[in-house]
Amino acid sequence: MRDIATPKRTKEILDKYKFKFKKSLGQNFLIDANVIREVLHKADVTKNTGVIEVGPGIGSLTEQLAKVAKKVVAFEIDQRLIPVLADTLSPYDNVTVIHKDVLEANIEETIKEHLSDCDEIVVVANLPYYITTPILMNFLEQTTSISRYYTMMQKEVGERLSAQPGSKSYGSLSIAINYYTEAKVVQHVPKTVFMPPPNVDSIIVELKTRKEKPVEVEDEKTFFKLTRGAFVQRRKTIVNNYQSLFVDGKKKKAEITEMIEKAGIDPRRRGESLSIEEYKQIYDALEETVL
């Protein structure tokens, strides 16, 4: 049987089921099996690996995953694709398709139920681009059982995930991702490997879950409130951004300045220049007084 990820077979499947793409669900299907094989090679998926896929579509990536992994669990939100997947993936007995919005999935439960006999769990996905960040954050906040993520996404989002302090793409998302993982762009992907081709450029990003966090914070919610607060207006200094952040706490500029200085940070710096360790210094200094 020919690979699903070819223009010809994909067209045949779409025609057979009279399938019309839904832009609102980020439906751009992979039609190049070589790109998929490269991803699997980089992700080092083996017969001991349990894979979670988000959005299998018509099964282009799922099929290749099924060939090399021990088991694959795939979440698909679009009801119309469920019978298509039952058909296209029928040769593989190690795939479970779950008809569900992945944002509502209980990841630990899923792993326990379907992948508990796998040595390692990896996420591999050509993500629906409109919800890339919520999907990744939802996984990272819920579980540390996943060792690696290999996901295709819009280039600009991938650059933000892996950005370093001082760069244009660096923001609170880069800090959150850096807190949970080591992020790296592994490959650029041309628009021509998708049907229909997306309007944006794509890249594959590797996230390796950290065994130890780069900073130790007791109250993660507050820590991320601080990192987000520093970027509310990118061009403003941290002290000015924090003034609006703590307006309910009735902190005056002088007090906030004093506390940031106590953290050993120049309050005139901008959020984009601070490392995660420096945010931790601010968190420690602010903890008792403002929060």
From 71, 73, 75, 172, residue interacting with ligand SAM (rule: CB under 6 A): 75
Q: What is the DSSP letter of 105?
A: -
Minimum CB–partner distance for residue 74 and ligand SAM (Å): 8
Task: Closer to ligand SAM by CB, 86 or 103: give it.
Answer: 103
With CA atoms as reference, report the closest residue to 88 among 30, 171, 13, 200: 13
From 9, 19, 60, 71, residue interacting with ligand SAM (rule: CB under 6 A): 60
Task: Report the Cα 104 to chain-centroid distance in Å.
Answer: 15
Minimum CB–partner distance for residue 77 and ligand SAM (Å): 4
Which ranges of 89-204 would DSSP assign to H, the alpha helix?
A: 107-114, 132-142, 155-161, 172-180
Residue 258 to residues 34, 57, 203, 273, Cα–Cα distance (Å): 57, 54, 42, 19
Residue 201 binds to ligand SAM (criterion: CB under 6 A): no
Angle between helices 220-229 and 276-287 (to 10 degrees): 110
Minimum CB–partner distance for residue 87 and ligand SAM (Å): 15
Q: Alpha-carbon distance 148 to 80, whole Å?
A: 30
Residue 177 binds to ligand SAM (criterion: CB under 6 A): no
Q: Tokens standing for 196? A: 């229909």
By beta carbon distance, the residue nearest ligand SAM is 55
Q: Tokens standing for 138? A: 């939802």
Tokens 């988000």 appear where? 54
Minimum CB–partner distance for residue 188 and ligand SAM (Å): 16
Q: Of the listed pieces 48-56, 64-72, 108-116, 163-171, which binds ligand SAM according to CB under 6 A?
A: 48-56
103 annotated binding-site participant: no
240 annotated binding-site participant: no
Angle between helices 220-229 and 172-180 (to 10 degrees): 150
Q: Alpha-carbon distance 139 to 203, whole Å?
A: 20
User: Are the C-beta atoms of 127 and 25 separated by less than 8 Å?
Assistant: no
Residue type, 101: D
From 14, 25, 186, 290, residue interacting with ligand SAM (rule: CB under 6 A): 25
Q: Of the listed pieces 19-27, 86-94, 175-183, 214-222, which binds ligand SAM according to CB under 6 A?
A: 19-27
Q: Alpha-carbon distance 138 to 75, whole Å?
A: 14
Q: Tokens standing for 17? A: 């089921």
Residue 76 binds to ligand SAM (criterion: CB under 6 A): yes
3 annotated binding-site participant: no
94 annotated binding-site participant: no
Q: Of the listed pieces 124-132, 177-185, 240-248, 272-280, which binds ligand SAM according to CB under 6 A?
A: 124-132
User: Are the C-beta atoms of 119 and 49 separated by less than 8 Å?
Assistant: yes
Residue 56 binds to ligand SAM (criterion: CB under 6 A): yes
Residue 128 binds to ligand SAM (criterion: CB under 6 A): yes
Q: Which positions make up the binding site for S-adenosyl-L-methionine?
A: 28, 30, 55, 76, 101, 126
Q: Which positions make up the binding site?
A: 28, 30, 55, 76, 101, 126
- Residues of the shown chain interacting with ligand SAM in the complex, contacts defined by CB under 6 A: 25-30, 54-57, 60-61, 75-78, 81, 101-103, 126, 128, 131
